[in-house]
Amino acid sequence: SKAKLFDEKSDTKTSFKDVAGLEGAKEEVQEIVDFLKFPEKYTALGGKIPKGALLVGPPGTGKTLLAKAVAGEAQVPFFSLSGSDFVEMFVGVGASRVRDLFKQAKEKSPSIIFIDEIDAIGRARGKNNMSGSNDERENTLNQLLTEMDGFGTNTNVIVLAATNRADVLDSALMRAGRFDRQIYVDLPDVRERKEIFEVHLRPLKKEETLDIDFLAKQTPGFSGADIANVCNEAALIAARKGKKAVNKQDFLDAVDRIIGGLEKKNKIIT
């Protein structure tokens, strides 16, 4: 059903406060918030508001979170779909879903469309097409390009898309007037990990002496999603032991468990 594929959540709750670190990316998307809120300010001198931006970075670094925060900050509806939803779709359905999504977003404009895993539909055309089974994907991609080209200058719908493989994308997507801006969302450094811990420690009952710098130092290579996981896991570990507050050892146990999980995942892939 329609509702399954994309959900419009007027996600006015998520704000930049929920996004830790990512200062550069937040600065860049702040401009998009401004375009949505005060379009006339930008079109007054004849300039065209960008139609799309690509959020590029490893899994779990906060791309979806950032896109939701843009909608929340601008107080506009958020329409989303994931490229992977299109993989097993019948012929013609993908393109019509894209058409539908844009129609709804235009009706509710100003609004945000978010396309997660755009690489699933946006891989370069004409490659790895031995089986001919990519026709449906190409139709979907072509529809997406058509929709973006069809936007008037005053449509005021901005399309954000996320990928961790910008290198495989069809160059047509990056052409002027489409996803002509790329915003990098990298893994957090130690200072940013501390900020992410602070966000995800907020709802936890923890020992007052807990050293957040220490936790940040113990988690090199962790994404924001991994850190959110550590915090939740630590709370569950402490609860299982019947504790009243989460302590340092619970976090270390949680870190070990997450590292174990990551290693297993990598083993399966390679």
Taking CB under 6 A as the rule, does residue 199 contact ligand ATP?
Answer: yes
CA pair distance 226, 33, nearest whole angstrom = 28
Distance between CA 229 and CA 232 in Å, rounded?
5
In angstroms, give the least distance from the CB of 226 to ligand ATP. 8
Cα separation of 55 and 161, whole Å?
Answer: 6
Contact region with ligand ATP (CB under 6 A), list: 63-71, 94-102, 128-136, 245-253: 63-71
**Residue 60 interacting with ligand ATP (CB under 6 A):** yes
**Binding pattern for the stretch 139-168 against ligand ATP, x by CB under 6 A and - elsewhere:** -----------------------x-x----
The answer to whether the peptide bond before residue 110 is cis (omega within 30 degrees of 0) is yes
Point out the residue whose Cβ comes nearest to ligand ATP. Answer: 224
Provide the minimum distance between the beta carbon of 163 and ligand ATP in the complex, in angstroms, as a whole number: 8
- Is residue 206 part of an annotated ligand binding site? no
59 labelled binding-site residue? yes
Distances (CA, A) of 188 to 63, 185, 218: 13, 9, 13
Binding mask 88-127 for ligand ATP (x = CB under 6 A): ----------------------------x-----------
Written as one letter, the residue type at 239 is A
The interface region with ligand ATP, picked from 94-102, 209-217, 223-231, 236-244 by CB under 6 A, is 223-231
Nearest Cα residue to 101 out of 161, 168, 49: 161
From CA 233, how far away is CA 259, in angstroms rounded? 12
Q: Which residues participate in the annotated binding site?
A: 57-64
